[in-house]
Structure 1
């Protein structure tokens, strides 16, 4: 299944769940990127929260506990790292924390684990060790040994729950602002006739609309003077 197949299935799902009380309009890819990014970030943070609560509420074996902890670190770091190839949005530290806020310190600890433990093998207290050489006296056999600290998951995970809930709220606020921006763009860019062609759900939906709409178009359309809508306004 390729990208076009997935997009078609998503459009069909929107149409199948449409009702007579709403009009649904397709948002071109260049205008939808920010909304899709923040929705994906929120889902990652929700998964992190679910994993942490699973660690807190159930007594799993070490393999499961390590998997839950590592997946949390990985997904958490993903929310703050660049996605230059896809140009997707990410969370910015300056938008999420204030100077001196306790949660910022927790964030820094998780990002350090992401950079130096999960994504790369850097210097971290989770993998501090001592390497030493050993010579066996009776036959002069030589070897090397490593003594390494045991991996531990923090005992107090409540502060991480607080951090994740805070960031989920931040992400939801950014999604709301991106929604306002997207509506403003659509209303100023498209004529009523063009908006009708972008309709993918709602009363009297035309199934052929998805064939005329190209979600892969990376370039915005030319600016068009939009006349006032006659009849009901879109709000």
Structure 2
């Protein structure tokens, strides 16, 4: 019964994700492009370097991995009870971090970019483990990056990314070795979507005083969106593994 409810929720989420952006959304995108030109190049450089380093660390490092073996004998409902608690905890953490760095103006605001990325990656790894996947396997880390990318992807890329999630169980069996994959990973395209998505609220966060409110609200929302995408990404895998 729980899986049936989840399958219906999953279809609603897909429809919402793939529908044409609203007029407000299109206006915001245009405004965002104009605001991009006002952001100091130093800030853009910090964001770009942070994302590049995060992608590399996610695929090859052990910074975000857990030493605990994922639990294997839990139902989907039991796993998602844990995931809801993880989301709640990380949203609070991200909001506090955003408020603290936002209150400090441009210098601390710049520090928020790598800090928030680190929080997001640790969050996704904890969610993966809660669903029973071992993130010590680099293929599971790559799946985490797809979830991250889908959360902040442009509308025209979402359909292809959802397809990647739906075909993951087959696709992962044919992935090259980690070192070979790293040599061809297009981190530039990956980071551009993310940077474009967060630029507008993060620029407002650089305003002293006002930035504290914006930083807390933006980080809370970013984690909320990431949590929604992560849950539905793993739901796709869980439901596809059920017998017909």
TM-score with structure 2 setting the length: 0.28
TM-score (norm 1): 0.29
> Which structure's CA Rg is the greater one?
1
Greater strand share, structure number: 1
